[in-house]
Amino acid sequence: MTTRAVVRGVGHYLPDRVVPNSEFETMLETSDEWIRSRSGIERRHFAAEGQLTSDLATRAARAALADAGVDAGEIDTIIVATSTPDLTFPSVATMVQAALGMERGFAFDVQAVCAGFVYALAQANALIISGAATRVLVIGAETFSRLMDWTDRGTCVLFGDGAGALVLEAATGAGTSDDRGILATDLHSDGRFKDLLYVDGGTATGTTGHLRMQGKEVFRHAVEKLAETAHAALDKAGLTPEQVDWIVPHQANLRIITATAQRMQVPMENVVVTVQDHGNTSAASIPLAMSVGRQRGQIKQGDVLVTEAIGGGLAWGSVVLRW
């Protein structure tokens, strides 16, 4: 018998403020058509003044716990994937832990930018299969609107704020691809490509900084690397693309999502797409898409999901799981 990390519950939270593409027309040389044609994005959510990443993460966590029917006191570990923490330290995860009234276990953040949630899932899986944890709350939460250069039309129209969360629980499986839970993970990074996507602030500058991106180069790397890591994870799981029910990709750009699905030979009808409504919410985008996909009735128990993402670093990876 094999220990598996099985999804017990899922939830998400989006800030109240919805920002349509038309709002950018008043401040930039851009248009709704320009943004849609290049990204597929139609609108996104921005956090309110004073609304922090930990606030979004806590709201998503409570939604996932309610869906799972699990009390915060039954959670062993909280992992938050974020690149926009409230403070340099302590971690957002410990802030969520306090907000939930959880006085046991441990909590920590993972920073791999847009690939953060995939990295966090891999860490949660390792904790569960090693026996170090039984129930892990995995959250992706971002307030990327606070990293934008509002004069750079190539980046500021792409990002949004939000949070999504999963409750993972240890369960016993037969050790085959028919098991529920995480079946395989595949992680990579290559620091040589730092200058393609980064924030020009931090302790080196004493400022928060703004996001900088070489969009064409990121696109080229994304399509190639996302398809490769997804195939690698499927191979590890003993599955083929034909057995995939849903790709739940990082929601960065509709063209990247479409090109990756084509390389994987999975039809777009089997891809959960939310980028039009949320924009790129970085580490939050995958759990947000999972939660919305479940609400839509797309994702059902027993479905095979492949989720993949690439972000600054460059860091990228994928997870195959059976819901």
**Residues with active-site annotation:** 114, 250, 280
CA Rg, the chain, in Å?
Answer: 18
Q: How many CB atoms lie within 10 A of CB 101?
A: 9
Query: How far apart (Å, rounded) are the C-alpha atoms in residues 114 and 100?
Result: 25
For the record, the structure tokens of 182 come out as 């995480």
- Where do runs of H (alpha helix) occur along the chain? 32-39, 53-68, 92-99, 116-130, 215-237, 254-264, 275-278, 285-296
CB 157 within 8 A of CB 24: yes
Q: How many CB atoms lie within 10 A of CB 228?
A: 18
- Could you write out the DSSP letters of every residue in 132-149? S-SEEEEEEEEEGGGG--
For the record, the structure tokens of 231 come out as 């195939």
Nearest residue to 112 (alpha-carbon basis) of 316, 319, 318: 316
- CB within 8 Å of 251: residues ≥ 6 apart: 257, 273, 274, 275, 278, 279, 280, 281, 285, 286, 288, 289
Instruction: Reduce the DSSP state of residue 187 to 3 states and report it.
Output: strand
Amino acid at 251: Q
Query: How far apart (Å, rounded) are the C-alpha atoms in residues 70 and 119?
Result: 24
